[in-house]
C-alpha cells in the first residue's frame, strides 16, 4: 500500500515538475508578447515570413503547432506551416470500439482548427500572411532546407522543421483509419462494423491493446459469435506489467473469447473458411482482423539522414531537446510515435509504449526549443521519458475496463465499470476546441494546397 502511494506521488510529482517548467516557458513568452505590444510595434517585418514547418497534425504535430502559434513573437517574422493530408483529426483511442459498435463512428473525426489560437488561419491586416498556414497535402521528401509536397511537387522552404509523422505506415483499422477524407473513413469503419456483424467466426490477430479491445468488444456485443484472439507471445499485453496481463486474460476468459497464445496466423483460406496457424492448427474463420504491425513512419528522415533512424526499431533518434541526432540538422526536430531517445545520448532512457501523453510532452519541448532558437538562443528544454506516461486504460468488453500504471517494479491496477459506449470522446472534442459532435467545415475553406 505504502509502495503504491509513493509510486503515485512520484509519478504525479515528476509530471507536475515538467508541466510547471513548460508553463513557465509559456508565461515568459506571453509576458514578452504583452511587454512588446505595450512598448513597441509588434508588426512582423516586411517580406515573406520564415517557415516553421510541421509535418503531420495528429497528437504530436497538432500540439506542437498550437504551442508555437500561441507563443510566437510576431516581430520575429516567422509563421507556422502545417502539412497534413487528413481533413479531420483522427482520434485513435476509440477506433477498436467504433469498429464494432455502430452509430458513433463520426465521433472519431474531430474538426481541426479549434486547438489553434483563434484567428491563426486568417490573413493579417492588408493581406499579411496568417500566423498559421495549413496545407492539405503529404510531404514526399525533405532536404536540409525545404519540404517537397507530394501532390503538386512544390517546395516549401523551412527555417525549422518538426517531423510528427507518427506510426502506422500502411496500417489499417483498427489501429489507424487508412483514408485522408472523413467520408471515406466513415465508410471504412461502417464496412468493418458490417464484416464483424455478419461474421460467425471472428479471428483477431494480435494481443496488444487494439486486439484485446476489439475481440472483447465484439464478444460483448455479439455473445453468440465465436471470437478467437491469436497472439504470438505467451501472454496478451506482454509489453505491460504482469498484473495487467492477468487482468486482460481474466476479462477475455470471462467473456468467452478463445485465446491462442504462442502461435501466429500465417494465412487465411477463404474457401475453406479457416485461419491457418504456424503450428499447422486451423481455426474456423470467416472474418480475420489484423491488429498488429504499427511501425514508426520515419521514411522522410531516413532518406535525408539514414544515421538518424534506428536500424532496429525504425524510430527517428532524438536528443533530449527533440532535435534529431544528426548534428548537421540542428533545426530539425521530431516528436510523437515516430521518434525515440537516442541511446547514445541517454542509455537509461526507457522507450514507453507509444502514447499520447509522451507525444504531447515531446511536442511541447520541441515547440519551446523552436521558439528559443527562433529568438537566437540554444534549445535548452529537455524531454525525459517517464513511466507515468505509460498509464493505460484497457477496455474489456463494452462496460468494463482496467487501468494500469507501473514503474517496472510496482504496478497499480484500477478496475472500472464504464457507462459511455463512446468512451467519453466528447471530452476530447472539447479539449481540441470543437463542439461535440458538430462538424465544422469553415476550417476546410482556409486550407491551402500550396503556399
Ligand X SMILES: Cc1cc2nc3c(=O)[nH]c(=O)nc-3n(C[C@H](O)[C@H](O)[C@H](O)COP(=O)(O)OP(=O)(O)OC[C@H]3O[C@@H](n4cnc5c(N)ncnc54)[C@H](O)[C@@H]3O)c2cc1C
Stretch that binds ligand X, among 159-167, 247-255, 424-432, 434-442 (CB under 6 A): 159-167
Nearer to ligand X, 174 or 207 (CB): 174
d(CA 262, CA 253): 17
Tell which one of 11, 114, 174, 211 touches ligand X (CB under 6 A).
174
Per CB under 6 A, 105 contacts ligand X: no
Q: How far is the CB of 297 from ligand X (least distance, A)?
A: 5
Stretch that binds ligand X, among 216-224, 265-273, 353-361, 400-408 (CB under 6 A): 353-361
Per CB under 6 A, 354 contacts ligand X: yes
Per CB under 6 A, 393 contacts ligand X: yes
Tell which one of 92, 130, 292, 401 touches ligand X (CB under 6 A).
92
Tell which one of 175, 305, 308, 381 touches ligand X (CB under 6 A).
175
Per CB under 6 A, 450 contacts ligand X: no
Q: How far is the CB of 441 from ligand X (least distance, A)?
A: 18
Provide the b/e sequence for 351-367 (b: ≥16 CB within 10 Å): ebebbbebbbbbbbbbb
Q: How far is the CB of 215 from ligand X (least distance, A)?
A: 13
Per CB under 6 A, 320 contacts ligand X: no
Per CB under 6 A, 260 contacts ligand X: no
Per CB under 6 A, 139 contacts ligand X: yes
R_g of the chain computed on alpha carbons:
23
Q: How far is the CB of 426 from ligand X (least distance, A)?
A: 16
d(CA 172, CA 218): 18
Scan residues 274-313 and list those touching ligand X (CB under 6 A): 297, 300
Site string for ligand X, 204-223 (x = CB under 6 A): -----xx-------------
Per CB under 6 A, 265 contacts ligand X: no
Tell which one of 337, 374, 425, 432 touches ligand X (CB under 6 A).
337
Scan residues 56-85 and list those touching ligand X (CB under 6 A): 56-61, 83-85
Nearer to ligand X, 274 or 434 (CB): 434
Nearer to ligand X, 248 or 274 (CB): 248
Q: How far is the CB of 167 from ligand X (least distance, A)?
A: 5
Stretch that binds ligand X, among 164-172, 222-230, 240-248, 430-438 (CB under 6 A): 164-172
Nearer to ligand X, 283 or 339 (CB): 339
Nearer to ligand X, 277 or 356 (CB): 356
Per CB under 6 A, 341 contacts ligand X: no
Tell which one of 18, 93, 134, 333 touches ligand X (CB under 6 A).
93
d(CA 442, CA 68): 22
d(CA 22, CA 155): 33
Stretch that binds ligand X, among 11-19, 50-58, 191-199, 377-385 (CB under 6 A): 50-58
What 3 state SS string does the chain have? CHHHHHHHHHHHHHHHHHHHHHHHHHHHHHHHHHHHHHHCCCCCCCCCCEEEEEECCCHHHHHHHHHHHHHCCHHHCEEEEEECCCCCEECHHHHHHHHHCCCCHHHHEECCCCCCCCCCCCCCHHHCCCCEEEECCCEEEECCCEEEECCCCCEEECCEEEECCCECCCCCCCCCCCCCCHHHHHHHHHHHHHHHHHCCEEEEECCCHHHHHHHHHHHHHCCCCEEEEEECCCCCCCCCCHHHHHHHHHHHHHHCCEEEECCCEEEEECCCCEEEECCCCEEECCEEEECCCCCECCHHHHHHCHHHECCCCCCEEECCCCEECCCCCCCEEECCCCEEECCCCCCCCCCCCCCHHHHHHHHHHHHHHHHHHHCCCCCCCCCCCCHHHHCEEEECCCCEEEEEEECCCCEEEEEEECCCCCCCHHHHHHHCCCCCCCCCCHHHHHCECCC
Binding-residue total with ligand X (CB under 6 A): 37
Measured between its terminal Cα atoms, the distance across the chain in Å is 58
Q: How far is the CB of 142 from ligand X (least distance, A)?
A: 9
Stretch that binds ligand X, among 51-59, 122-130, 380-388, 437-445 (CB under 6 A): 51-59
Q: Which residues are at the interface with ligand X (CB under 6 A)? A: 55-61, 83-86, 92-93, 95-96, 138-139, 164-168, 174-175, 209-210, 297, 300, 336-338, 354-357, 359, 393
Amino acid at each position: 500500500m505504502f509502495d503504491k502511494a509513493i509510486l503515485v506521488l512520484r509519478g504525479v510529482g515528476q509530471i507536475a515538475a515538467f508541466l510547471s517548467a513548460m508553463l513557465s516557458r509559456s508565461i515568459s513568452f506571453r509576458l514578452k508578447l504583452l511587454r512588446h505590444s505595450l512598448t513597441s510595434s509588434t508588426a512582423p517585418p516586411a517580406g515573406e515570413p520564415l517557415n516553421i514547418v510541421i509535418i503531420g497534425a495528429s497528437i504530436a504535430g497538432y500540439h506542437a503547432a498550437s504551442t508555437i502559434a500561441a507563443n510566437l513573437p510576431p516581430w520575429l517574422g516567422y509563421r507556422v506551416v502545417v502539412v497534413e493530408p487528413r481533413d479531420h483529426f483522427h482520434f485513435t483511442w476509440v477506433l477498436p470500439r467504433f469498429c464494432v459498435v455502430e452509430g458513433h463512428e463520426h465521433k472519431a473525426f474531430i474538426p481541426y482548427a479549434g486547438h489553434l489560437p483563434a484567428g491563426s488561419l486568417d490573413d493579417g491586416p492588408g493581406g499579411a500572411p496568417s500566423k498559421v498556414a495549413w496545407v492539405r497535402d503529404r510531404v514526399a521528401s525533405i532536404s536540409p532546407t525545404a519540404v517537397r509536397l507530394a501532390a503538386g511537387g512544390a517546395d516549401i522552404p523551412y527555417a525549422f522543421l518538426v517531423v510528427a509523422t507518427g506510426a502506422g505506415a500502411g496500417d489499417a483499422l483498427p489501429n489507424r483509419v487508412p483514408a485522408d477524407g472523413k467520408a471515406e473513413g466513415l465508410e471504412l469503419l461502417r464496412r468493418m462494423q458490417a464484416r464483424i456483424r455478419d461474421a460467425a467466426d471472428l479471428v483477431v490477430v494480435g494481443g496488444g491493446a487494439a486486439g484485446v479491445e476489439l475481440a472483447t468488444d465484439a464478444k460483448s456485443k455479439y455473445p453468440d459469435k465465436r471470437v478467437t484472439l491469436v497472439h504470438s507471445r505467451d501472454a496478451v499485453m506482454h509489453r505491460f506489467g504482469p498484473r495487467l496481463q492477468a487482468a486482460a486474460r481474466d476479462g477475455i476468459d470471462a467473456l468467452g473469447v478463445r485465446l491462442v497464445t504462442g502461435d501466429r496466423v500465417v494465412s487465411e483460406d477463404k474457401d475453406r473458411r479457416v485461419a491457418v496457424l504456424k503450428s499447422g492448427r486451423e481455426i474456423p474463420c470467416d472474418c480475420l482482423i489484423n491488429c498488429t504491425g504499427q511501425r514508426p513512419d520515419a521514411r522522410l528522415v531516413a532518406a535525408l539522414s539514414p544515421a538518424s533512424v534506428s536500424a532496429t526499431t525504425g524510430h527517428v533518434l532524438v536528443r533530449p531537446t527533440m532535435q534529431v541526432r544528426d548534428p548537421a540538422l540542428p533545426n530539425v526536430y521530431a516528436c510523437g510515435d515516430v521518434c525515440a531517445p537516442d541511446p547514445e545520448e541517454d542509455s537509461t532512457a526507457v522507450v514507453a509504449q507509444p502514447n499520447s501523453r509522451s507525444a504531447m510532452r515531446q511536442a511541447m519541448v520541441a515547440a519551446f526549443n523552436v521558439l528559443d532558437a527562433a529568438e537566437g538562443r540554444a534549445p535548452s528544454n529537455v524531454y525525459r521519458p517517464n513511466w507515468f506516461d505509460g498509464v493505460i486504460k484497457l477496455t474489456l468488453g463494452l462496460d468494463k475496463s482496467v487501468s494500469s500504471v507501473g514503474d517496472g517494479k510496482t504496478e497499480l491496477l484500477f478496475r472500472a465499470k464504464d457507462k459511455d459506449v463512446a468512451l467519453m470522446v466528447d471530452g476530447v472534442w472539447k479539449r481540441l476546441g470543437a463542439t461535440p459532435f458538430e462538424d465544422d467545415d469553415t476550417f476546410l475553406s482556409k486550407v491551402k494546397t500550396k503556399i
